[in-house]
Structure 1
Amino acid sequence: MLRSLGSGTLRSLCIRRNRSLPRAFSSATRYLEPPAADRVPDRVPLRKQLKQEAKALRSHKRQRKETAEASKEEWELTVGVEIHAQLDTETKLFSRASTSTSDVPNSNLALFDLAFPGSQPVFQAAILLPAIRAALALNCEIQPVSRFDRKHYFYQDQPSGYQITQYYEPFARNGYVDLYDYDGIAPEDGERVRINIKQVQLEQDTAKSQEYSPTTQLLDFNRVSHPLIEIITMPQIHTPETAAACVRKLQAIVLSCGAVTTGMELGGLRADVNVSVRRRGEAPGEHQYDGISGLGQRTEIKNLSSFKAVEDAIIAEKNRQIEVLESGGVIEGETRGWAIGSSETRRLRGKEGSVDYRYMPDPDIPPLIIGEDLLSSLKDTLPTAPDALLTLLVGSEFNLPIEDAKPLIELDNGARLEYYHDVVDILRSLQVDQDDKTRASLLRVASNWVLHELGGLVAKHDRAWDTEIVPARSLAHLIDQLQRNLITGPTAKLVLATIFDGDRRPVPQLLEEENLLLRPLSREEYVALAESVIAMNPQMVEQIRSKNQLGKLGWFVGQMMRTGEKGRVEAPKAEQILRELILS
């Protein structure tokens, strides 16, 4: 009878008849409960579930970090980087078709791009200009003669069945990039590390593919034959942080010299990393890459699209290889992929070698000959390198903190730095009557307003940077009025927002017409205002006096600025009066 009743029915019957069941009977009912697999799980509130997931993620990241730290002493990581960057050109590498990728799919094409029989490549000489600028900025030796090769592989995004590149004789070799502690390299790498660049080569891009379902893939051939440079570093990087810093620095350099279209964030630059590990103290590995021997078997992680992805993918692949080796396995040479938010790399295919690609000289393209006159002209017109700009900004002339100097250089492909220089030049002309010390302090003030105040408005409203949002002359006049104590800080921010919203009145006229010029309060007015605020908050006053909680004076200053006449209360004077009244 008991077995024929469900546990829920049995329990409800028993409880209705007798709420004080014998212990033996109540224990027997436990055996009648359904197995765990059949029970309905308790519902977890969404907020609790999110907290649990976040906690689990933090725990996982902490374990990964601890594992990585523990493995530093026992295992040596070696990384090489390959950067593919789209050159800033109007035409494709071997045709006059446009390089615009934002047009209608498959609209910017030449017959050669689609590998039509009988079509021939015609090298576009203008492509050499940005390519050579990039190589010179990377301290490379430009080769007087270089040649193109065919790299054979079959894939739907490559209509000819081969990619034209420069494998054997690239146009640039033997460069280097210096990474510093302010670039974000790992602490164990010290203040500076030099990464050698094996070569920089020209090659054509492939089609853009988009998968809509497991059986449907669309191809846009607008990108086919878009000119690329491939930058190949030597395998000399030994930490994930430094690898990410290397990619970041390479991008900054090629952007600063106007060689490429966009950076990683817009898809104009992609990174591949080659990762290998070997146990310290053991006999050198049998593998050799780019002339460096004694390395472990490497794997390649393809198409990383952010600096964080570079770092995270290397950490994950390093941990995977160590786990395989410690369990007695063997690392296979293969190409692997990485998805943002993932915790491990995934196998894509076996790693092809140079023999698999059957490299051969392209018989349809003559050698590329670069004259010394062209090199000399490009060297003379090369923009200042990012490191040299940084040295200038943090030096005695500008004396900016490095936290301000780096964003000025890196933001908006140099447009933010040009804007800052325009503001500074106008400010200097407005402040000719000021002493040298005051004029020197303006350089820091200007960087703060360009980066933080104006930059904050741009970010808040999700606007692209444009020097016409707030003309440099308007910002310079606003800072000049603030430095002369003709307006307060809050008023200056209000006026900046007004100009940002489109008001194009000259700043002095705007201040006059809106009655925003500072009319200083008298000492008696400050005292009266402070006394009224103090009288309303006696407990907080006592805490300041008895517990020396001076930080709360700032709260009182804020109250005085809110209750006082708008734009007339100056924070330093308000704090001075408060200190006299509360602490004296």
Structure 2
Amino acid sequence: MTATDTKTIAGRTGPWEIVLGLEVHAQVSSQSKLFSSAKVGFGAGPNQQVSLVDAAMPGMLPVLNRYCVEQAVKTGLALKAQINLKSRFDRKNYFYPDLPQGYQISQFDQPIVGEGEVVVEHDNGETFTVRIERLHLEQDAGKMIHDLDPNATYLDLNRAGTALMEIVSKPDMRSSDEAVAYVKKLRAILIAVGSCDGDMEKGNLRADVNVSVCRPGAYEKFRETGSFKHLGTRCEIKNVNSNRYIQQAIEYEARRQIEILEDGGKIDQETRLFDPGKGETRSMRSKEEANDYRYFPDPDLLPLILDPAWVKELEAGLPELPDAKKARLQSQYGLSPYDAGVLIADAARASFFEQAAVGRDAKLVANWTINDLLGRLAKDGHDIADSPIPPADIAGLVKLIEAGTISSKIARQVFDHMWAGEGAPAAIVEKHGLVQVSDTGAIEAVIDRLIAANPGQAEAVKAKPQAIGWFVGQVMKEMAGKANPGSVNAILKAKLGVE
């Protein structure tokens, strides 16, 4: 699949297509803010992490955080983007209560990172490319709180001045599925580099989603000419902070625009908000253009000049990135593209798997990690970092299966005991008497008794070999699930004379 593939939506007057571009705001994983030494952290009391610079006290001057610059450059390199050795900071002027300075320090026409690209893979292995237009550094604003008092609005400036990387894509996504896949891939890259923790729930990664609709063929004309006149008027949905909400917001907004156009109306270019409770977008304000912000170079900050040797040093020190890690997991461990993709989506997952896979059947380890462990964690609202089961215990469970000590069915029981905190799998098997019965004599005795008691069923198996599953189930039931499945099947086939 390529970026020009489309997802068509049927309207009353004919088909429509979606065109999407995202502006992803990633909070830099820095312990201090972009232009001050104030701490950055989630959960502090209101206005407990605010410096005089963040509060815009008179005479306070910004001092650029070198670490934040480093993280922006590393991210740009990971996005295969142009690193601009000269960039500058500008003042983006607008007035809002959560912006004490009356302007936001950002980067306008000279960002630190230029054009790049992200190759995104679907679950079926098909790929599409999203072009990156730019990455720039900017300050975050504070937070307005409206629900403490119906007659007042409270301000919390803890986030004010926090360093953000705004990663702006070209309008290369054509469906909500593609947008979500892109955000997941971008998040994986950021986490791998270490420049952002990717925690969407805390607002550390959020997206402004630009949505427009057009008739089939219009997007191709845009790609040929580069002229936005071929596309529909776009609306921007601000600060969407979950993949599910991104998908819902896009699908609602696209339908909203199609209905307006088919009723003979026109789309107003505006900024909108997504209401998760109602599953719909609502108007926030008319969409500003660059000249509305009256950008000009920040007089308190010199142009940012990067040493080419320093950039090369950062490039050489980049960690293994998701695409390279995925390819390695497939070749080194024989994993499917899907399993490798699930594991590399989070650096901690891949690390957990590789620790557990040492000396073990890697595919079996991947199955238990992805299907059982990650499934249980997701059900309880946790991620791999919160796992009550360490990698060594997943390895121990797989070892018991490989040795024939327990069956896969018994292993599920053992896993439940592990999840409950009962310790290592070998100790659990011994404690609960879960060792698999491989004694063929004991299995044969049970089978002989069942065949003698069910002659009609035995004759049915001879006529229809698939019916042997009934006997397998009965044997396992009588032996409390501990019988070796391979031995059960072999003995049954010999006794009943089927292949």
TM-score by length of 2: 0.87
Q: Which moved more, 1:204-213 or 1:147-156?
A: 204-213
1:449 to 356, 364, 368: 368
Do the aligned partners of residues 179 and 454 (structure 1) sit closer, same or farther apart at CA in structure 2, a change above 3 Å counting?
closer
RMSD over aligned Cα, in angstroms?
3.3
Do the aligned partners of residues 554 and 401 (structure 1) sit closer, same or farther apart at CA in structure 2, a change above 3 Å counting?
farther
Do the aligned partners of residues 291 and 249 (structure 1) sit closer, same or farther apart at CA in structure 2, a change above 3 Å counting?
farther
Query: Equivalent residues in 2 for 1:74-113 (5 A)?
Result: 74-113=15-54
Q: Is 2:82–2:113's contact at 8 Å kept on the other side of the alignment?
A: yes
Structure 1 equivalent of residue 447 of structure 2: 530
Letter paired with 2:485: A
Once the two structures are TM-superposed, the CA of residue 535 in structure 1 deviates from its matched residue by: 6.1
Do the aligned partners of residues 500 and 332 (structure 1) sit closer, same or farther apart at CA in structure 2, a change above 3 Å counting?
closer
Once the two structures are TM-superposed, the CA of residue 510 in structure 1 deviates from its matched residue by: 6.5
SS of equivalent residue, structure 1 residue 422:
helix
Q: Is 1:235–1:290's contact at 8 Å kept on the other side of the alignment?
A: no
Distance between the aligned counterparts of 1:326 and 1:553, measured in 2?
61
Do the aligned partners of residues 346 and 167 (structure 1) sit closer, same or farther apart at CA in structure 2, a change above 3 Å counting?
same
2:478 to 563, 569, 578: 563
Q: Is 1:77–1:238's contact at 8 Å kept on the other side of the alignment?
A: yes
Structure 1 equivalent of residue 4 of structure 2: none
Q: Which moved more, 1:472-481 or 1:322-331?
A: 472-481
Distance between the aligned counterparts of 2:214 and 2:373, measured in 1?
49
Distance between the aligned counterparts of 1:349 and 1:78, measured in 2?
21
Asked if residue 239 in structure 1 is aligned to residue 175 in structure 2, the reply is yes
Aligned residue pairs total 490
Query: Equivalent residues in 2 for 1:467-482 (5 A)?
Result: 469-482=388-401
Deviations 1:315-345 (A, max 9, x none): 2222222222222222211111222254542
Query: Equivalent residues in 2 for 1:171-186 (5 A)?
Result: 171-182=112-123
Q: Is 2:8–2:16's contact at 8 Å kept on the other side of the alignment?
A: no
Letter paired with 1:366: L
TM-score by length of 1: 0.75
Letter paired with 2:306: I
Once the two structures are TM-superposed, the CA of residue 400 in structure 1 deviates from its matched residue by: 0.9
Once the two structures are TM-superposed, the CA of residue 468 in structure 1 deviates from its matched residue by: 7.7
Letter paired with 2:491: I
Structure 1 equivalent of residue 193 of structure 2: 257
Once the two structures are TM-superposed, the CA of residue 534 in structure 1 deviates from its matched residue by: 5.2
Distance between the aligned counterparts of 2:427 and 2:219, measured in 1?
77
Do the aligned partners of residues 517 and 330 (structure 1) sit closer, same or farther apart at CA in structure 2, a change above 3 Å counting?
closer
Q: Which moved more, 1:87-96 or 1:209-218?
A: 209-218
Once the two structures are TM-superposed, the CA of residue 271 in structure 1 deviates from its matched residue by: 0.8
Asked if residue 520 in structure 1 is aligned to residue 438 in structure 2, the reply is yes
Distance between the aligned counterparts of 1:537 and 1:339, measured in 2?
62
Structure with the bigger RCO (C-alpha within 8 Å, sep 6+) is 2
Structure 2 equivalent of residue 208 of structure 1: 143
Structure 2 equivalent of residue 331 of structure 1: 267
Deviations 1:18-40 (A, max 9, x none): xxxxxxxxxxxxxxxxxxxxxxx
Asked if residue 271 in structure 1 is aligned to residue 207 in structure 2, the reply is yes
Do the aligned partners of residues 211 and 539 (structure 1) sit closer, same or farther apart at CA in structure 2, a change above 3 Å counting?
farther
Q: Is 2:35–2:62's contact at 8 Å kept on the other side of the alignment?
A: yes
Distance between the aligned counterparts of 2:219 and 2:324, measured in 1?
42
Q: Is 1:285–1:293's contact at 8 Å kept on the other side of the alignment?
A: no
Q: What residue ranges of structure 1 are gaps of 5+ in the alignment?
A: 1-65, 185-190, 428-441
Distance between the aligned counterparts of 1:536 and 1:517, measured in 2?
27
Asked if residue 227 in structure 1 is aligned to residue 163 in structure 2, the reply is yes
Deviations 1:54-78 (A, max 9, x none): xxxxxxxxxxxx9923589743432
Letter paired with 1:250: L
Do the aligned partners of residues 134 and 580 (structure 1) sit closer, same or farther apart at CA in structure 2, a change above 3 Å counting?
same
Distance between the aligned counterparts of 1:483 and 1:373, measured in 2?
51
Q: Is 1:457–1:497's contact at 8 Å kept on the other side of the alignment?
A: no
Distance between the aligned counterparts of 2:266 and 2:339, measured in 1?
48
Distance between the aligned counterparts of 2:323 and 2:10, measured in 1?
31
Distance between the aligned counterparts of 1:566 and 1:297, measured in 2?
63
Structure holding more helix per residue? 1
Letter paired with 2:239: N
SS of equivalent residue, structure 2 residue 261:
helix
Q: Is 1:419–1:467's contact at 8 Å kept on the other side of the alignment?
A: no
Letter paired with 2:116: G
% of aligned pairs identical?
Answer: 35
Once the two structures are TM-superposed, the CA of residue 571 in structure 1 deviates from its matched residue by: 1.4
Asked if residue 419 in structure 1 is aligned to residue 348 in structure 2, the reply is no
Asked if residue 399 in structure 1 is aligned to residue 340 in structure 2, the reply is no
Distance between the aligned counterparts of 2:34 and 2:268, measured in 1?
35
Q: Is 1:68–1:315's contact at 8 Å kept on the other side of the alignment?
A: no
Distance between the aligned counterparts of 2:196 and 2:402, measured in 1?
40
Structure 2 equivalent of residue 69 of structure 1: 10
